Amino acid sequence: MKRALPILAVLVVLLAAIAFVNPFFLEPAGFLAFAKRAAPLVILAAGQYFVIVSGEFDLSVGSLVTAEVVIAARLIDGEEPATWPVIALLIVIGLLVGLVNGVVTTKLRVPSFIVTLGMLLVLSGAVFLWSGGAPRGALSEGFRAFGRGGLGPVPWSVLILLAVGAAAIWLMRADFGKTLMVAGDNERAAALSGVRVHRVKIFAFMLSGLAAAVTAILLGGFAGVSAQVGQGLEFSAITAVVLGGVVLGGGRGSVLAAMAGAFTLEALFTLLNLYGISGALEFTVQGVIIIVAVAAGAVRLPWKFTPRKGDAHAAS
């Protein structure tokens, strides 16, 4: 929680700025709409967080999301009864892709950047090969409900987001999360304490795959079938995680902060939109903000006393 404070502060400022222009944002409905929109990226960022904190990358999530949506559309083909089996299948596929990423990374010792880049190519090729170049079939109303519908005024995606967020936070507090952190921080120390480093990392990749599957369900539900639904999501997710103060290289940062990073990114988009920054220059602003935020090491609280690192470590 403490580590998530700075990014939460930034988020609150952005949200306030949005509310200033658009008072509707303060109403429950307005805020829920924002949360609903942000949910897919936040979930994807949570998944990416596990991989990054273990010291790896997952570049394959974007094409995995696309693949999942295309698969869902073709298999469901508008048939309501197919909804649940296909959702189960999507989740299995997500886990499986993560498993392959993880196994190749750990057992074959290929850098995860390359493994997941390869997976990106394989997935985007394979799924369109299978579907004949463009999505076919259709999603069922039941499937769409996850992205569109809600329980009373609360969108399903927000509820799913809450569940995923709670699960992610719980996981990071559980043994798995703690050992994952240590594996990302000091792989050797973890191994010498009996941590099955490979297994833990593979599991992290599987979580990322799972998050991509859930994201696909939400995005497919929200916006329908599209061949480019996952385009660029891998970079957005990594950016969000880093924006949350999670360090590339592993071992530092909290999952709450990573999710807050995703919210922040989404709030930033909304804000740029609201303030009428031209659609074109939006990217420029985004690029500058990302660099500045990371450069400022957004994580460290300025008022929190911490001895300079070098001092403490030099003596040990």
Partner 1 sequence: MLSMRGIGKSFLGVRVLSGIDLDVTAGEVHAVVGENGAGKSTLMKIICGVHAPDEGTIEIDGRPTSFGHPLDAQRSGIAIIYQEFNLLPERTVAENVFLGREPVRRGLVDRTAMEQATERLLDELGEGSFGPREAVKRLSVAQQQVVEIVKALSVNARLVVMDEPSAALAEHEVELLYRLIGRLRERGVAVLYISHRLREVFDLADRVTVLKDGSRVTTHPIGEVTSDELIRLMVGRDLGTYFPPRSSGVGETRLSLRGAGNHKLRGIDLELRSGEIVGVAGLQGSGRSELAKAIFGAEPFTEGEMTPSRPRSVREGVALGIGLVTEDRKAEGLALHQSVRDNALLVARAVGGKDRDGVHDLLERVRLSPPRQDQEVGYLSGGNQQKVVLARWMTMAPRVLLFDEPTRGVDVGAKAAIHDLMRELANDGMAIMMISSELPELIGMSDRIVVLRDGRIAGTLPAGPSEEAIMRLAAAEVVS
Partner 2 sequence: MNGIPVAARLREPTQVVFLALLGLIALGWVLVALDGGQFLTMESVVGIQQRSAALGIVAVGQTLAILAGSLDLSVAYLISLTSLVAAEIMAGQDGNIVPAVAAVLALSALVGLVNGLVITRLRVHAFIATLGVALIIRGILDHLYDGPAGKVPESFQVLGYSRIGPVPVSALLWAGVAVVAWFLLSRTRLGYRIYAVGGNEEVARLSGIRTGRIVVLTHVLCSVCAGVAGLLLASRLGAGAPTVGTDGGYDLESIAAVVLGGTALAGGKGGVAGTVGGVLLLAVLDTIFNQLEVNSFVKDVVRGVVIVIAVAVYARRTKGRSA
Partner 3 sequence: MPRRKATVAVFAALALAGCTTDKPPAAQSSAPAASTDQTGQGSGTGTQSKFFVQADFDAQLAMRSQTPQGPDGKPWEQAITPQMTDTKTFKKDGPYHLCFSNAAVNNPWRQVGWKTMQAEVGLHKEITEFTALDAEGKDDKQISDIAELQAKGCDALIVSPNTTATLTPAVKGACGKVPVIVFDRGVETDCPVTFIKPIGGYLYGADAADFLVEKVPDGGKVLALRISPGVDVLETRWSAAKTVFDKSRLQVVGVEFTDGDAAKTKSIVNDYIQRYGKIDGVWMDSGGTAVAAVEAFEDAGLPVPPVTGEDQQDFLQKWKDAKLTAIAPTYPTYQWRTPIIAALKILKGEEVPKVWNLPQPKITEETLPTYLQPNMPPLHYALCGCEDLPGFPENWGGKKS
For residue 171, what are the CA distances in angstroms to 39, 133, 140, 165?
19, 38, 32, 10
Task: Mark residues 102-141: x for contact with partner 2 by CB under 8 A, - for none.
Answer: --x---xxxx-xxx-xxxxxx-xxx-xx---x--------
Tell which residue, 253, 90, 121, 98, has the closest CA to residue 177: 253
For residues 257 and 246, is the Cβ–Cβ distance under 8 A? yes
Amino acid present at 145: A
**Burial class (CB within 10 angstroms; exposed 0-12, middle 13-18, buried 19+) of 4:** buried
Tell which residue, 16, 36, 64, has the closest CA to residue 208: 64
**CA-to-CA distance for 161 and 178, rounded, in angstroms?**
22
1 binds, among partner 3, partner 2, partner 1, none (CB under 5 to 8 A by kind): none
158 or 247, CB closer to partner 1?
Answer: 247
151 is an interface residue for partner 2 by CB under 8 A: no
Residues in touch with partner 3 (CB under 8 A): 22, 24-25, 30, 33, 37, 40, 73, 131-138, 148, 219, 222-229, 231, 270, 273-274, 276, 278-280
Buried b (16+ CB within 10 A) or exposed e, 230-250: beebbebbbbbbbbbbbbeeb
Task: Mark residues 239-278: x for contact with partner 1 by CB under 8 A, - for none.
Answer: ------------xx--------------------------
Least distance (Å) from partner 3 to the CB of residue 235? 13
**CA-to-CA distance for 61 and 64, rounded, in angstroms?**
5
Task: Mark residues 277-306: x for contact with partner 2 by CB under 8 A, - for none.
Answer: -xxxxxxxxxxx-xx--xx-x---------
195 binds, among partner 3, partner 1, partner 2, none (CB under 5 to 8 A by kind): partner 1
Tell which residue, 94, 93, 95, 100, has the closest CA to residue 118: 100
Among positions 164-193, residues that touch partner 1 (CB under 8 A) are 175, 178-179, 181-182, 185-186, 188-193
Among positions 191-220, residues that touch partner 1 (CB under 8 A) are 191-196
**CA-to-CA distance for 125 and 200, rounded, in angstroms?**
29
Least distance (Å) from partner 2 to the CB of residue 176? 26
Q: DSSP letter for 230, please.
A: T
191 or 285, CB closer to partner 1?
Answer: 191
Q: Which residues bind to partner 2, rule: CB under 8 A?
A: 57, 104, 108-111, 113-115, 117-122, 124-126, 128-129, 133, 235, 238-239, 242, 248-249, 278-288, 290-291, 294-295, 297
